[in-house]
Amino acid sequence: MASLTIRLHPADNVVVAGADLPEGTALPDTGVVARTAIPSGHKVAVQAIAVGEPVRKYNQVIGFATAPIAPGDHVHVHNIGVGDSFERDYAFGADAHATDLVPEAERATFQGIVRPDGRVATRNYIGILTTVNCSATAARMIADQFRGNALAAYPNIDGVVALTHSYGCGMGSQGDAIDALRRTIAGYARHPNFAAVLVLGLGCEVNQIDKLVEVEGLTVGDTLQTLAIQESGGTAATVRASVERIRALLPRVNDVTRETVPASHLILALQCGGSDGYSGITANPALGHAVDLLIRNGGTAVLSETPEVYGAEHLLTRRAVSPAVGGTLVERIRWWEDYTSRTGGEMNNNPSPGNKKGGLTTILEKSLGAVAKAGTTNLVEVVRYAEPITGPGLVFMDTPGYDPVSATGQVAGGANVLCFTTGRGSVFGCKPTPSLKLATNTALFRKMPDDMDIDCGPIATGDATIEEVGRAIFQLILDTASGRKTKSEELGFGSDEFTPWQMGAVM
Amino acid sequence: MASLTIRLHPADNVVVAGADLPEGTALPDTGVVARTAIPSGHKVAVQAIAVGEPVRKYNQVIGFATAPIAPGDHVHVHNIGVGDSFERDYAFGADAHATDLVPEAERATFQGIVRPDGRVATRNYIGILTTVNCSATAARMIADQFRGNALAAYPNIDGVVALTHSYGCGMGSQGDAIDALRRTIAGYARHPNFAAVLVLGLGCEVNQIDKLVEVEGLTVGDTLQTLAIQESGGTAATVRASVERIRALLPRVNDVTRETVPASHLILALQCGGSDGYSGITANPALGHAVDLLIRNGGTAVLSETPEVYGAEHLLTRRAVSPAVGGTLVERIRWWEDYTSRTGGEMNNNPSPGNKKGGLTTILEKSLGAVAKAGTTNLVEVVRYAEPITGPGLVFMDTPGYDPVSATGQVAGGANVLCFTTGRGSVFGCKPTPSLKLATNTALFRKMPDDMDIDCGPIATGDATIEEVGRAIFQLILDTASGRKTKSEELGFGSDEFTPWQMGAVM
Ligand SMILES: [Ca+2]
Ligand SMILES: [Ca+2]
Ligand SMILES: [Ca+2]
Ligand SMILES: [Ca+2]
Ligand SMILES: [Ca+2]
């Protein structure tokens, strides 16, 4: 049954119109009547709010009343604002609170693959990574030899995947850019979802294999092998040698079994892309509820996409477990300001005229739409792009907003499941980590049935609550981590989405 | 028979030692005796050079004597320098001269495919191009359907190739970065080596298909089709529809014959990568001789890699056919200075201590090693990255030095053959354009026999002259343009090397 309004949290003093509401419409479950027409997606007050009092949506402050607001009033730019003092006050930890952990004995579990070092994998791949674009074709040729029925005798291997990129030369041999590239490659090399990795180089590139191994403290051996084409007799000889090496690994890589492990071994990457007006009221808050469940069960989630938080980083600093954690986030924000001023990018996350027309009033509210997918727990850690994610709890990784670049950093950091909310219909996979697609609206879910894993649209029509969909997402995360294939895995996505952040000038 | 020295041009007043020469070594064909020991790769004077007189190598000025030089003297940093006035004087056109064109009736020809609009192709591919990383996987899935024996009934089709990239979103919707990306995609879409092209988008990306078509003046029709995944029912439906569309084109695309056409239809891209001490004395000057032959036959060649010319742009401005052409090059040099100062790249093409140890004395000499591959004719045109190359004659395209990015710009500009000199052993292909690999030394040619197309090493040992190898390269260019497969085509290179220049910050 369709509902006229969406309440994003029981403690909110506004609700969102799920359709254009004529003046005089009775708002369900509130005893309140709309005092003017309320356009779809816009907010209407369900309590009186005095001047200076906070307006709450997602149980978070999206602004303060600048005029007296009566129940049933349209709440928008004419009667709320952010306020200067709020804007300047990072209030580290002001909203932090103890996490309501589920008792150990009752915690959720999944069927994972426990690696020799105790880390837990959700998939079992062999990876071919490249130092430079020049070894990309050879890497793909090697992976090609393991397509079709080549792995039929090894049912526990999910595949041999080549993750190539366009970078690695024509760049400085030191500095932020090569550091980030090295972290990314090393993060994948260490990822528990890879049982074994071959790092393939050309030989004369700036991003030298030996230096990568040394700087990142990687250990070369059976499960991390390296090869350079120029030292191996050229392309054909390198491909032959690599295929032989990988064939020799197959029996051992196949020799794994899944066992019951606690959900605390999950590191969930959060993404949104191709957002629409429903993102902030259906899929993102539903994913946020799933994240709260995961973290209450001892797990970890990682929020990213710094440009989409920009200007509203207060939302996160107030939840930081310590001034140090909050301060690291602020430092990353400052880095972006400098970076974009130098490189001609634009940092402006303010609601656009279109956003405002759709009902988004303040920069806090707009960012909350994105941040809602991270739930309500404390921010425990802030890491740089592709750095290892420790957790447990909610972690922020500094990344661009561009989906493949952002997700590549998260997977490099150790994410072993990914949830991607989308309103327009993103198609995204990120081997070796399974990627779930959460549709913000039912029309999309029906239009792209082979790509979308779950429909969050029923929240908008009142046919499901945020909590109900959030629980379904959490269960799907557990099932996926246990081996259930995502839509993007069934289709074969995940090789071409590996996109390390190219931070410097191409020379 | 091995020679002790290499003379790069008959008019030079220095020769290069092909091995470590002890003091007193008689230099062949000169009547000159080495007055000191000359390390391999270093220069020795074969004429007296007075203070202030030019030192000539490649028949070009590499510096001026700063001390009296006698025949047999070691010529290096102790007795030559560039001179301030030379450094500041672009001398537009000072060295320009009429091209010694081969009479029309005697001009070289090749077997080309004449397209309906009169342009000539050297290959006959169907291309799948993408607007954004998000459609890369689908593009490859489509191309995958035409692998193996799928084209057995269409012997005149070279393949269906997906050229994907990592960019197209997380970027500004206007400015240099998206302009360059659009030019690149449009240049490939118009390339005569593609009989037909499908441009595949996701739908919500910054780099919108409609805008690309409009801004670049492309004509959508049978041979240039477009599709967006979000408007086509998702990935699986899009792949099915695309495969059907391409299948329908196969009979017509196959219906081509090669015919004799003048070499003036060739646009030869020049690249070097993985250079070594031999690059500037074997492969590059030999390729330069081939370029002179091509241009004397009415053809076009395109030199690029601006950072490798930086500081020695005088070499090209002096050969410019007009102040306007020379000035455009200088304007691009200034752009790079600004770009790198903002983005933290480094513009420094001066000989390094290692270069100097190897015998390179001045920035002019070092750059000449790279510029030598462009031969000796006038500079007729300077274009920006991925802009259409007009010719005929020698053209400069402003690109980074990073090989795949540079070559992608050249192919977008219309290059239909590419020659790549390499000392360390680059492996490079760039569908739809055939790529020839020119080894600077015989050891490399033998070490990577499946990757290298021609051995320029015999120049260093005196077993062949620059002119002889140059003629062989020119013949190989004609044969390749006529359909003979290059080593990289036999191996299957050319999809993963498509790398549009990413000029802006990733957001
Ligand atoms: Ca987003
Ligand atoms: Ca995003
Ligand atoms: Ca590529
Ligand atoms: Ca070069
Ligand atoms: Ca290069």
pLDDT tens profile B303-315: 999 999 998 898 8
User: Which contiguous run of DSSP H or E holds residue A148?
Assistant: none
The pLDDT value given to residue A263: 98
Cβ atoms of B208 and B131 within 8 Å: the answer is: yes
Query: Once rounded to an integer, what is the mean pLDDT over residues B162-174?
Result: 95
Contact B501 A501 (CB under 8 A): no
- Measured between CB atoms, does A450 come within 8 Å of chain B? yes
Instruction: Identify the CA nearest to A396 among candidates A305, A261, A482.
Output: A305
Residue with tokens 């600004």: B338
Q: Indicate the domain borders of chain B.
A: 5-88, 121-254, 262-491
- Measured between CB atoms, does B140 come within 8 Å of chain A? yes
In angstroms, the CA B435 to CA B269 distance is: 9
Cβ atoms of A67 and A79 within 8 Å: the answer is: yes
At A277, the pLDDT band (50, 70, 90 cuts) reads confident
The nearest CA of chain A is from the CA of B480 a distance in Å of 21
* Residues in chain A closer than 8 A to B203 (CB atoms): 274, 424-425
CATH architecture for residues A262-491: 3-Layer(aba) Sandwich (3.40)
The pLDDT value given to residue B1: 40
Query: Once rounded to an integer, what is the mean pLDDT over residues A123-135?
Result: 98
Contact B234 A496 (CB under 8 A): no
The nearest CA of chain A is from the CA of B483 a distance in Å of 22
Q: Which of A130, A235, A242 to mutate to test the interface with B (most CBs of B within 10 A)?
A: A235
* Residues in chain A closer than 8 A to B137 (CB atoms): 427, 429, 491-497
- From the centroid of its chain, how far is CA A100? 23
CA atoms lying within 13 Å on the CB side of residue B394: 29
Average pLDDT, chain B: 95
Sequence-distant (≥ 6) Cβ neighbours of residue A281 within 8 angstroms: A6, A8, A16, A41, A369, A459, A460
Q: Which two tokens stand for residue B437?
A: 């690999």
Distance between terminal CA atoms of chain A? 59
The nearest CA of chain B is from the CA of A335 a distance in Å of 13
Instruction: Identify the CA nearest to B51 among candidates B16, B23, B74, B83.
Output: B83
User: In chain B, whose CA is at the least distance from the CA of A447?
Assistant: B233
The CATH T-level fold of domain A5-81 is 2.30.130
CATH number of B5-88: 2.30.130.110
Instruction: Identify the CA nearest to B245 among candidates B160, B317, B163.
Output: B160
Contact A448 B339 (CB under 8 A): no
Exposure letters A197-208 (e unless 16+ CB within 10 A, then b) = bbbbbbbbbbbb
The nearest CA of chain B is from the CA of A18 a distance in Å of 24
In angstroms, the CA A460 to CA B296 distance is: 71
- Measured between CB atoms, does B137 come within 8 Å of chain A? yes
The pLDDT value given to residue A2: 57
Contact B492 A137 (CB under 8 A): yes
* Residues in chain B closer than 8 A to A136 (CB atoms): 496-497
- Measured between CB atoms, does B497 come within 8 Å of chain A? yes
Contact A133 B172 (CB under 8 A): no
Cβ atoms of A191 and A125 within 8 Å: the answer is: no
- Comparing CB atoms, the residue among A137, A499, A507 nearest residue B133 is A499
Q: Which residues 158-177 of B are in CB contact (within 8 Å) with A? A: 164-166, 169-172, 175-177
The pLDDT value given to residue B82: 87
Query: Once rounded to an integer, what is the mean pLDDT over residues B132-144?
Result: 98
The nearest CA of chain B is from the CA of A172 a distance in Å of 7
The Å distance, Cα A272 to ligand 2 centre, comes to 5
The pLDDT value given to residue A38: 95
- B84: pLDDT strictly greater than 90: no
Query: Once rounded to an integer, what is the mean pLDDT over residues A315-334?
Result: 96
Q: Is A44 helix (H, G, I), strand (E, B) or coil?
A: strand
The Å distance, Cα A407 to ligand 1 centre, comes to 11
The pLDDT value given to residue B2: 56
Query: For residue range A101-125, what is the model confidence (pLDDT) as tens digits?
Result: 999 999 999 999 999 999 999 999 9
User: In chain A, whose CA is at the least distance from the CA of B399?
Assistant: A507
Q: Which two tokens stand for residue A487?
A: 């839509």
- B85: pLDDT strictly greater than 90: no
- Comparing CB atoms, the residue among B137, B405, B492 nearest residue A497 is B137
The Å distance, Cα A412 to ligand 3 centre, comes to 20
- Among the ranges given (A121-130, A169-178, B130-139), the one the predictor scored with the smallest mean pLDDT: A169-178
The Å distance, Cα A275 to ligand 1 centre, comes to 7
Decide the pairing of beta strands B435-439 and B417-422.
parallel
- A344: pLDDT strictly greater than 80: no
- Measured between CB atoms, does A424 come within 8 Å of chain B? yes
The nearest CA of chain B is from the CA of A458 a distance in Å of 21
Cβ atoms of B293 and B382 within 8 Å: the answer is: no
Distance between terminal CA atoms of chain B? 59
- A55: pLDDT strictly greater than 50: yes
The nearest CA of chain B is from the CA of A296 a distance in Å of 32
- Measured between CB atoms, does A502 come within 8 Å of chain B? yes
- B345: pLDDT strictly greater than 90: no
Query: Once rounded to an integer, what is the mean pLDDT over residues A52-75?
Result: 94
In angstroms, the CA A380 to CA A392 distance is: 8
Query: Once rounded to an integer, what is the mean pLDDT over residues B257-261?
Result: 98
- B362: pLDDT strictly greater than 80: yes
The pLDDT value given to residue A1: 40
Decide the pairing of beta strands B224-228 and B159-163.
unpaired
CATH number of B121-254: 3.40.50
Average pLDDT, chain A: 95
- Measured between CB atoms, does B439 come within 8 Å of chain A? no
User: In chain A, whose CA is at the least distance from the CA of B430?
Assistant: A137
Number of inter-chain CB pairs under 8 A, A vs B: 217
In angstroms, the CA A12 to CA A55 distance is: 8
Cβ atoms of A276 and A354 within 8 Å: the answer is: no
In angstroms, the CA A254 to CA B477 distance is: 49
In this structure, which CATH number among 3.30.1490, 3.40.50, 3.40.1400, 1.10.3470 belongs to the domain A125-254? 3.40.1400
- B112: pLDDT strictly greater than 90: yes
User: B5-88 and B121-254: same fold?
Assistant: no
- A375: pLDDT strictly greater than 90: yes
Sequence-distant (≥ 6) Cβ neighbours of residue A211 within 8 angstroms: A182
Residue with tokens 């040394």: A214
- Measured between CB atoms, does B181 come within 8 Å of chain A? no
Distances from the Cα of B232 to the Cαs of A267, A441, B197, B449, in angstroms? 33, 17, 18, 46
Q: Which residue type is seen at A410?
A: Q
Share of chain A above pLDDT 70, in %: 99
- Among the ranges given (A149-158, A456-465, B287-296, B358-367), the one the predictor scored with the smallest mean pLDDT: B358-367
Contact A235 B404 (CB under 8 A): no
The Å distance, Cα A35 to ligand 3 centre, comes to 56
Q: Which of B131, B132, B137, B200 to mutate to test the interface with A (most CBs of A within 10 A)?
A: B137
